[in-house]
Amino acid sequence: MMNLLVLILFFNLLGSLVSLSGGILLLVRKNLAYRFSHFLASFAAGTLLGTVFFDLLPEAVHEAEDVGHGLEVVFVYTLGGILFFFLLERFLHWFHHHGYEEHLIKGKPIIPLLIIGDTIHNFIDGIAITATFLVSIPAGIVTTLAVGAHEIPQEIGDFGIMLKHNLSWKKILSVNVLSAGASFVGVFLAYYYGVKVEGLSVIFISIAAGFFLYIALSDLIPEIHHENRKGLAFWETICLFLGVVSIYFALFFIREVLQIGH
Protein backbone atom coordinates (compact mmCIF):
# COMPACT_ATOMS: atom_id res chain seq x y z
CA MET A 1 0.00 0.00 0.00
CA MET A 2 2.96 2.34 0.52
CA ASN A 3 3.74 2.12 -3.21
CA LEU A 4 0.18 3.19 -3.92
CA LEU A 5 0.54 6.16 -1.58
CA VAL A 6 3.71 7.25 -3.41
CA LEU A 7 1.82 6.97 -6.72
CA ILE A 8 -1.05 9.07 -5.35
CA LEU A 9 1.35 11.73 -4.05
CA PHE A 10 3.13 11.85 -7.42
CA PHE A 11 -0.08 12.34 -9.41
CA ASN A 12 -1.42 14.83 -6.89
CA LEU A 13 1.78 16.85 -7.31
CA LEU A 14 1.45 16.55 -11.08
CA GLY A 15 -2.16 17.77 -10.93
CA SER A 16 -1.11 20.74 -8.76
CA LEU A 17 1.64 21.72 -11.21
CA VAL A 18 -0.74 21.47 -14.17
CA SER A 19 -3.34 23.62 -12.43
CA LEU A 20 -0.77 26.28 -11.50
CA SER A 21 0.41 26.43 -15.11
CA GLY A 22 -2.64 28.52 -16.02
CA GLY A 23 -1.78 31.21 -13.49
CA ILE A 24 1.89 31.17 -14.45
CA LEU A 25 0.89 31.58 -18.10
CA LEU A 26 -1.06 34.67 -17.06
CA LEU A 27 2.01 36.15 -15.35
CA VAL A 28 4.10 35.52 -18.47
CA ARG A 29 1.58 36.17 -21.28
CA LYS A 30 -1.47 37.99 -19.93
CA ASN A 31 -3.32 38.51 -23.23
CA LEU A 32 -2.70 34.95 -24.40
CA ALA A 33 -3.97 33.50 -21.12
CA TYR A 34 -7.23 35.48 -21.21
CA ARG A 35 -7.72 34.67 -24.90
CA PHE A 36 -7.61 30.92 -24.30
CA SER A 37 -9.26 30.78 -20.86
CA HIS A 38 -12.77 30.36 -22.31
CA PHE A 39 -11.68 27.46 -24.50
CA LEU A 40 -9.91 25.87 -21.53
CA ALA A 41 -13.05 26.28 -19.42
CA SER A 42 -15.11 24.54 -22.12
CA PHE A 43 -12.62 21.69 -22.41
CA ALA A 44 -12.51 21.40 -18.60
CA ALA A 45 -16.31 21.17 -18.40
CA GLY A 46 -16.18 18.27 -20.85
CA THR A 47 -13.44 16.47 -18.91
CA LEU A 48 -15.41 16.78 -15.68
CA LEU A 49 -18.61 15.43 -17.24
CA GLY A 50 -16.70 12.63 -18.93
CA THR A 51 -14.95 11.72 -15.69
CA VAL A 52 -18.24 11.58 -13.78
CA PHE A 53 -20.14 9.40 -16.26
CA PHE A 54 -17.36 7.26 -17.73
CA ASP A 55 -15.33 6.81 -14.57
CA LEU A 56 -16.46 7.99 -11.12
CA LEU A 57 -20.09 6.83 -11.08
CA PRO A 58 -19.34 3.43 -12.70
CA GLU A 59 -16.46 2.91 -10.24
CA ALA A 60 -18.65 3.92 -7.30
CA VAL A 61 -21.40 1.53 -8.40
CA HIS A 62 -18.89 -1.30 -8.88
CA GLU A 63 -17.31 -0.65 -5.47
CA ALA A 64 -20.73 -0.45 -3.78
CA GLU A 65 -21.68 -3.84 -5.20
CA ASP A 66 -18.36 -5.34 -4.02
CA VAL A 67 -18.85 -4.21 -0.40
CA GLY A 68 -22.56 -5.01 -0.30
CA HIS A 69 -23.94 -1.46 -0.32
CA GLY A 70 -27.16 -0.61 -2.13
CA LEU A 71 -26.78 1.54 -5.24
CA GLU A 72 -28.83 4.27 -3.60
CA VAL A 73 -25.77 5.05 -1.46
CA VAL A 74 -23.95 6.23 -4.59
CA PHE A 75 -26.73 8.57 -5.67
CA VAL A 76 -27.45 9.89 -2.18
CA TYR A 77 -23.82 10.89 -1.64
CA THR A 78 -23.52 12.29 -5.17
CA LEU A 79 -26.52 14.51 -4.45
CA GLY A 80 -25.01 15.30 -1.05
CA GLY A 81 -21.81 16.39 -2.77
CA ILE A 82 -23.72 18.75 -5.06
CA LEU A 83 -25.65 20.28 -2.15
CA PHE A 84 -22.55 20.56 0.03
CA PHE A 85 -20.62 22.49 -2.62
CA PHE A 86 -23.61 24.71 -3.30
CA LEU A 87 -23.73 25.65 0.39
CA LEU A 88 -19.96 26.05 0.51
CA GLU A 89 -19.96 28.41 -2.45
CA ARG A 90 -22.83 30.42 -1.02
CA PHE A 91 -21.01 30.71 2.29
CA LEU A 92 -17.82 31.97 0.68
CA HIS A 93 -19.63 34.45 -1.62
CA TRP A 94 -17.30 33.37 -4.31
CA PHE A 95 -17.99 31.73 -7.66
CA HIS A 96 -15.04 29.86 -9.09
CA HIS A 97 -15.15 30.43 -12.84
CA HIS A 98 -17.19 33.51 -13.75
CA GLY A 99 -14.46 35.91 -14.78
CA TYR A 100 -12.46 38.06 -12.41
CA GLU A 101 -14.72 41.14 -12.50
CA GLU A 102 -17.54 39.19 -10.86
CA HIS A 103 -15.25 38.41 -7.94
CA LEU A 104 -14.91 42.10 -7.10
CA ILE A 105 -17.83 42.35 -4.70
CA LYS A 106 -18.04 45.78 -3.15
CA GLY A 107 -17.28 45.77 0.55
CA LYS A 108 -16.12 42.14 0.64
CA PRO A 109 -12.61 41.02 1.63
CA ILE A 110 -12.27 39.32 -1.74
CA ILE A 111 -8.61 38.24 -1.59
CA PRO A 112 -8.96 36.36 1.75
CA LEU A 113 -12.18 34.77 0.51
CA LEU A 114 -10.46 33.79 -2.71
CA ILE A 115 -7.58 32.16 -0.87
CA ILE A 116 -9.89 30.34 1.56
CA GLY A 117 -12.08 29.08 -1.26
CA ASP A 118 -9.10 27.95 -3.34
CA THR A 119 -7.56 26.16 -0.34
CA ILE A 120 -10.78 24.26 0.37
CA HIS A 121 -11.08 23.46 -3.32
CA ASN A 122 -7.53 22.04 -3.39
CA PHE A 123 -8.20 20.02 -0.23
CA ILE A 124 -11.24 18.42 -1.87
CA ASP A 125 -9.28 17.76 -5.06
CA GLY A 126 -6.76 15.78 -2.99
CA ILE A 127 -9.57 13.71 -1.49
CA ALA A 128 -11.12 13.08 -4.93
CA ILE A 129 -7.82 11.94 -6.45
CA THR A 130 -7.00 9.66 -3.51
CA ALA A 131 -10.47 8.12 -3.27
CA THR A 132 -10.43 7.12 -6.92
CA PHE A 133 -6.89 5.74 -6.75
CA LEU A 134 -7.95 3.54 -3.82
CA VAL A 135 -10.56 1.93 -6.07
CA SER A 136 -8.77 1.91 -9.42
CA ILE A 137 -5.47 3.26 -10.71
CA PRO A 138 -7.00 4.23 -14.11
CA ALA A 139 -9.77 6.08 -12.26
CA GLY A 140 -7.16 7.94 -10.22
CA ILE A 141 -5.12 8.92 -13.27
CA VAL A 142 -8.17 10.18 -15.16
CA THR A 143 -9.42 12.08 -12.12
CA THR A 144 -6.03 13.78 -11.88
CA LEU A 145 -6.29 14.80 -15.54
CA ALA A 146 -9.78 16.20 -14.99
CA VAL A 147 -8.74 18.07 -11.84
CA GLY A 148 -5.78 19.64 -13.64
CA ALA A 149 -7.90 20.61 -16.66
CA HIS A 150 -10.62 22.36 -14.68
CA GLU A 151 -8.15 24.13 -12.40
CA ILE A 152 -6.26 25.84 -15.25
CA PRO A 153 -8.98 28.40 -16.18
CA GLN A 154 -9.77 28.92 -12.49
CA GLU A 155 -6.14 29.73 -11.71
CA ILE A 156 -6.04 32.20 -14.61
CA GLY A 157 -9.03 33.98 -13.07
CA ASP A 158 -7.61 33.86 -9.55
CA PHE A 159 -4.21 35.20 -10.60
CA GLY A 160 -6.00 37.94 -12.54
CA ILE A 161 -7.87 39.07 -9.43
CA MET A 162 -4.68 39.21 -7.38
CA LEU A 163 -2.84 41.14 -10.09
CA LYS A 164 -5.72 43.61 -10.26
CA HIS A 165 -5.36 44.13 -6.51
CA ASN A 166 -1.67 44.98 -6.99
CA LEU A 167 -0.19 41.88 -5.37
CA SER A 168 3.36 41.18 -6.51
CA TRP A 169 3.95 38.10 -8.65
CA LYS A 170 6.17 36.64 -5.90
CA LYS A 171 3.38 36.95 -3.35
CA ILE A 172 0.83 35.53 -5.79
CA LEU A 173 2.99 32.48 -6.46
CA SER A 174 3.72 31.97 -2.74
CA VAL A 175 0.04 32.14 -1.78
CA ASN A 176 -1.01 29.72 -4.52
CA VAL A 177 1.76 27.22 -3.78
CA LEU A 178 0.77 27.19 -0.09
CA SER A 179 -2.89 26.83 -1.05
CA ALA A 180 -2.02 23.92 -3.35
CA GLY A 181 -0.43 22.22 -0.33
CA ALA A 182 -3.93 21.68 1.08
CA SER A 183 -4.44 18.98 -1.55
CA PHE A 184 -1.77 16.87 0.18
CA VAL A 185 -3.68 17.17 3.46
CA GLY A 186 -6.71 15.82 1.59
CA VAL A 187 -4.57 13.00 0.19
CA PHE A 188 -3.36 11.79 3.59
CA LEU A 189 -6.81 12.15 5.17
CA ALA A 190 -8.55 10.19 2.41
CA TYR A 191 -5.79 7.58 2.24
CA TYR A 192 -5.75 6.98 6.00
CA TYR A 193 -9.51 6.62 6.35
CA GLY A 194 -9.93 4.94 2.97
CA VAL A 195 -7.66 2.03 3.89
CA LYS A 196 -9.02 1.82 7.45
CA VAL A 197 -12.76 1.86 6.79
CA GLU A 198 -14.26 -0.63 4.35
CA GLY A 199 -16.57 0.94 1.81
CA LEU A 200 -15.62 4.53 2.64
CA SER A 201 -14.14 4.96 -0.84
CA VAL A 202 -17.69 4.60 -2.23
CA ILE A 203 -18.70 7.69 -0.28
CA PHE A 204 -15.59 9.65 -1.27
CA ILE A 205 -15.98 8.84 -4.97
CA SER A 206 -19.71 9.65 -4.95
CA ILE A 207 -19.08 13.01 -3.26
CA ALA A 208 -16.30 13.72 -5.77
CA ALA A 209 -18.75 12.96 -8.60
CA GLY A 210 -21.18 15.47 -7.07
CA PHE A 211 -18.37 18.00 -6.80
CA PHE A 212 -17.38 17.59 -10.46
CA LEU A 213 -21.01 17.80 -11.61
CA TYR A 214 -21.56 20.96 -9.61
CA ILE A 215 -18.45 22.68 -10.98
CA ALA A 216 -19.24 21.70 -14.58
CA LEU A 217 -22.98 22.49 -14.55
CA SER A 218 -23.07 25.44 -12.13
CA ASP A 219 -19.85 27.28 -12.92
CA LEU A 220 -18.25 26.29 -16.22
CA ILE A 221 -21.19 25.71 -18.56
CA PRO A 222 -23.03 28.93 -17.54
CA GLU A 223 -19.78 30.79 -18.30
CA ILE A 224 -19.71 29.21 -21.75
CA HIS A 225 -23.28 30.41 -22.40
CA HIS A 226 -22.45 33.85 -21.01
CA GLU A 227 -19.63 34.42 -23.52
CA ASN A 228 -21.29 35.91 -26.63
CA ARG A 229 -18.31 37.04 -28.68
CA LYS A 230 -18.68 36.22 -32.36
CA GLY A 231 -16.97 33.03 -33.45
CA LEU A 232 -16.41 31.64 -29.94
CA ALA A 233 -19.63 29.66 -29.46
CA PHE A 234 -18.83 27.02 -32.10
CA TRP A 235 -15.26 26.43 -30.92
CA GLU A 236 -16.25 26.40 -27.24
CA THR A 237 -18.82 23.72 -28.06
CA ILE A 238 -16.16 21.72 -29.92
CA CYS A 239 -13.82 22.05 -26.92
CA LEU A 240 -16.51 20.80 -24.52
CA PHE A 241 -17.15 17.69 -26.64
CA LEU A 242 -13.41 17.17 -27.04
CA GLY A 243 -13.13 17.19 -23.24
CA VAL A 244 -15.73 14.43 -22.95
CA VAL A 245 -14.17 12.34 -25.72
CA SER A 246 -10.65 12.79 -24.34
CA ILE A 247 -11.67 11.19 -21.04
CA TYR A 248 -13.25 8.24 -22.84
CA PHE A 249 -10.10 7.58 -24.87
CA ALA A 250 -7.81 8.28 -21.91
CA LEU A 251 -9.60 5.53 -19.96
CA PHE A 252 -9.41 3.19 -22.95
CA PHE A 253 -5.68 3.88 -23.38
CA ILE A 254 -4.88 3.41 -19.69
CA ARG A 255 -6.89 0.21 -19.31
CA GLU A 256 -6.52 -1.48 -22.69
CA VAL A 257 -3.20 -0.26 -24.07
CA LEU A 258 -1.18 0.22 -20.89
CA GLN A 259 -3.01 -2.70 -19.24
CA ILE A 260 -3.37 -0.81 -15.95
CA GLY A 261 -6.37 -2.21 -14.13
CA HIS A 262 -7.81 -2.30 -10.62
Would you give per-residue pLDDT tens digits along the chain (262 residues)? Answer: 558 889 999 999 988 888 787 777 766 776 666 667 677 778 878 888 888 898 889 888 887 887 777 788 899 999 998 998 888 777 765 444 444 444 444 434 456 766 776 787 788 788 888 888 887 888 888 888 887 776 776 676 677 667 766 677 788 788 888 888 899 998 998 888 876 665 677 887 888 888 888 888 887 788 777 766 656 778 888 888 988 888 888 777 776 665 555 5
Q: How far apart are CA 185 and CA 201, in angstroms?
A: 17
Which letter does DSSP use for residue 93 in this model? T
Position 41 in a domain: yes
Q: How far apart are CA 76 and CA 87, in angstroms?
A: 16
Position 262 in a domain: no
Position 61 in a domain: yes
Give the predicted TM-score (pTM) of the model: 0.70
Output the CA–CA distances (angstroms, integers) from residue 205 to 16, 210, 218, in the order listed. 19, 9, 19
Residue 199 is predicted with a pLDDT of 64
Position 205 in a domain: yes
Which letter does DSSP use for residue 90 in this model? H
Position 80 in a domain: yes
Residue 83 is predicted with a pLDDT of 92
Position 183 in a domain: yes
Output the CA–CA distances (angstroms, integers) from residue 66 to 63, 71, 77, 197, in the order listed. 5, 11, 17, 14
Residue 260 is predicted with a pLDDT of 56
Residue 20 is predicted with a pLDDT of 80
* Tally of domains within the chain: 1
Range of the domain at 210: 2-257
Position 182 in a domain: yes
